[in-house]
Structure formats: C-alpha cells, structure tokens
Amino acid sequence: MHLYLHIPFCKQACHYCDFHFSTNLKSKADLVAAICRELELQKDYLPTRELETIYFGGGTPSLLTEAELGQIFDTIHQFYRVHPSAEITLEANPDDLTAEKLISLKPYINRLSIGLQSFHEPYLRFMNRAHNAAESEASVKRAQDHGFDNLTIDLMYGMSEKMLGMEESETASEDRVWQKDLEMAVALNTPHISAYNLTIEPKTVLGNWLKKGKIKSVNEELSARHFEQMIMYLNASRYEQYEISNFARDGHYARHNSSYWKRRPYLGVGPSAHSFNGPSRQYNIANNALYIQSLTEERLPFEMEILTSYDQVNDYLLTSLRTIWGCDLRIIQELAGIDLRETHKKYLNAFMDYGWVFIEDNVLFLTYNGKLFADRIASDLFVV
Ligand code: SF4
C-alpha cells in the first residue's frame, strides 16, 4: 500500500505554483502533530497496513526538522508496517540540502526528489525559486556523496524570455537553453528525471501577470518542440520514458507515482492531500489552520467523491495511457462492462491510422507520435 504526506510549507512562493502551501512556518509543529493524529485516525483506510511506498510531497518537506521527521516516523511505525524494501521519497529544494540536513535525512529516507527546474539563472529568477543554478548542481553532488544514489530531479520546459517581452536579440535561444539544461541534468548522473511543461495557472503570480498583460502566454509550439527535444536527448542518454513526464535508467521507476498510474489504493495525509481506494476519492481540506483545528477536535477534514464505474474508467485511461504499461482493456471491461474496441471503434481506428496507438494482448499503447497527443487521445476515449 502507498502513503502520501503533504507538508504544506515553503520558504517563498514560486511564481508558477498552485499547490497548497503557506510561507508562514509558525504552525509547523501543530501541523506535524495534526498529521500524526490523522495517520492514527486513518490507519484502517487502506486494505492492509503494510506500506510499500511513502512519499513526502508539498510544499517543501525538506523544511521538516529531524525531530519533526522522527515524530512522523514514530507514528507511522506505531500504526503501520513499513515493508523492509519500501521506497521512501522526500521532495527537497536544493538550498535545503546541506551536509547536516542530508545526514539527518539518511536514517529515514532512501530516495530524494530534488526540485532543480532549470540551470538557467534568468529562468530561476523568473520562477522565483529560492536557489541558484550553482546550488542545484552542488546539492545533487552532495546528496550523492552522502550515499543518496536513488535520486530524481525535476526540470521544467516550455520557458522563454520572450514571455517577458524581450526581443529575440536580447534572449538566449530557448532551444539552446533547454538543451544545456538537459545536458547538465544528464551529467549529474541521477537514475531518474522528471520534466514538466510550464503551465500558467490562474491563481498564481504568473497567472496574474498574464491577466495584466505583463507576460506572454506559454508558446505551445515551443513546448511541443522542447518535449521532442527532451525525448530524443534523454533516450540517447539511456533514459527510458516510462511515463510521459518521467524518465528512468535501468528500471529505476518511481514506485510511488507508478502506484497512482496503476490504480493502487493510497492514503494521502495532510492539508489538500487526496486518498483513493477504488470506489471513492477523498480530498483533505486545503487550509492549514482548519486542518489543524479539525484534527484537534478528532475530526477528519475531508470531502468524499463517490466514483462511478465510468469515472474510474476515465481516470484509468488518462493515467495509464501515459505509461509504458499501457491501458489494459480488460480492466476497463471489469470496471464498467465495456469493450472499448466496440464502443470507441471509430476513434481507435482513426488513432491507429494516424499511427498514434496500437493494441497488443488486450493492452492499448501510445506510439512515439501518440505521446504528443496523449491527453486528447484519452479524452476522446472517455466513456460517458
Ligand atoms: S514549486 Fe514547490 S517550493 Fe515552489 S512554491 Fe510550489 S511547492 Fe513551494
């Protein structure tokens, strides 16, 4: 089974981010206590209490002190069993990963996810990241020196200084910057890389700037070009694209994230965290003060959504199609009694004619070209 813990604090707000977090760290101790309370109250949510993966996301979980992390793990060990080979991941920002911090994380964490985003200083400043490019590189090397071999780094593409209104002559070419980012990422020799397209969400600083006309929107052509550039370069560098945004060497797939794509039940703890058990999804309140208050009063602060069989099929289509494991049509048959090859024959035939999908042993896969249209293909196959 799989456990996600949301640590909703950050040192400063990145301009593109619409995750739930607060830059006011005063309530951190109370929030950790509430998380421990929720872990206890939710101990029977999953079919078994044995945890195969634990994932600290956020926010910035590397802001947790050693004592706070220890408190959370004491609670986990009290109410759950952690499998001896469990994958235990913590998201960290480069500026937090001092030698002292890494030593304190070592007894608890066996995989680090480091949010580098870019090595290009103008982009880091544009995103309002708390670190600089030199810190990015140094943090990964320091983590490796401290025995963290199981590392993943996050990158972001689709960025351009032209979004800020600069003229061509004033900017570094976006493709060259992205190529350099990719080369620097590969040189760090981590077994896993995730890379996401910059998206501008309305309730972010970038969303606000876009509305006011201070920046231009993301250029979709540029994003598609960067996506292809990334696949070619990372594949040539022995990284397998096992999910649209995720690349691994030698089978170092992210076990926790893979569980989402394979419809495995997971428990999400902390403000804004989601949980999934097949027939329903739960959404924790995205407000630190109300979350703490609710747990202090022994109430679980979530809303539940009952998923129809069609909802379950559509969720599965959307996530599974993006992976190398593909979408198993037998699972769709089991969930909703539907044979997609019959109900969506027209679409499937068209996608096959375009060379976007193929079916092998009852499993639907995207081709290389199909990956460029993954979301559109999935939504056209949705059952309604
Ligand atoms: S991107 Fe990460 S570090 Fe930046 S504000 Fe969002 S959660 Fe915090």
**Which residues are within 8 A (CB) of 96 and not within 5 positions of it... i.e. 6 or more apart?**
60, 62, 63
Mean pLDDT value across residues 158-182: 78
Provide the pLDDT for residue 168: 61
Which of 9, 10, 203 best tests ligand 1's pocket when mutated (most atoms within 8 Å of CB)? 10
Distance 52 CA to ligand 1 centre (A): 26
CATH fold match for the domains 2-260 and 309-381:
no
Indicate the domain borders of the chain.
2-260, 309-381
Residue 174's pLDDT band (cuts 50, 70, 90)? confident
pLDDT at 278: 92
Whether 156 shows a pLDDT value over 90: the answer reads: yes
Class (C level, CATH) for 2-260:
alpha beta
Sorting pLDDT into bands at 50, 70 and 90, what band is 241? Answer: very high
Looking at residue 164, what is its pLDDT? 67
What is the CATH number assigned to the segment(s) 309-381? 1.10.10
Query: Helix (H, G, I), strand (E, B), or coil: what is residue 83?
Result: strand
Q: What percent of the chain has pLDDT over 70?
A: 98
Cβ of 60 below 6 Å from ligand 1: yes
pLDDT of residue 170: 58
Across the range 345-362, mean pLDDT stands at 96
| Ligand 1, atom nearest to 93 Cα | 3
Residue 172, pLDDT score: 64
- 274's CB contacts (< 8 A; 6+ apart) are 4, 268, 281, 282, 283, 284
Distance from Cα 14 to the centre of ligand 1, integer Å? 5
Q: Does 93 contact ligand 1 (Cβ within 6 A)?
A: yes
| pLDDT > 70? residue 163 | yes
Q: What does the pLDDT look like over 86-119, one tens digit per residue? A: 999 999 999 999 999 999 999 999 999 999 999 9
Q: Could you identify the atom of ligand 1 that is nearest to the CA of residue 91?
A: 2
Burial class (CB in 10 A: 0-12, 13-18, 19+), 11: middle
Does the Cβ of 19 fall within 6 Å of ligand 1? yes
- Spacing, Cα 17 to ligand 1 middle (Å): 6
Task: Quote the ligand 1 centre to 93 CA distance (angstroms).
Answer: 9
For range 330-344, the mean pLDDT: 95
Angle (deg, nearest 10), helices 28-41 and 288-296: 50
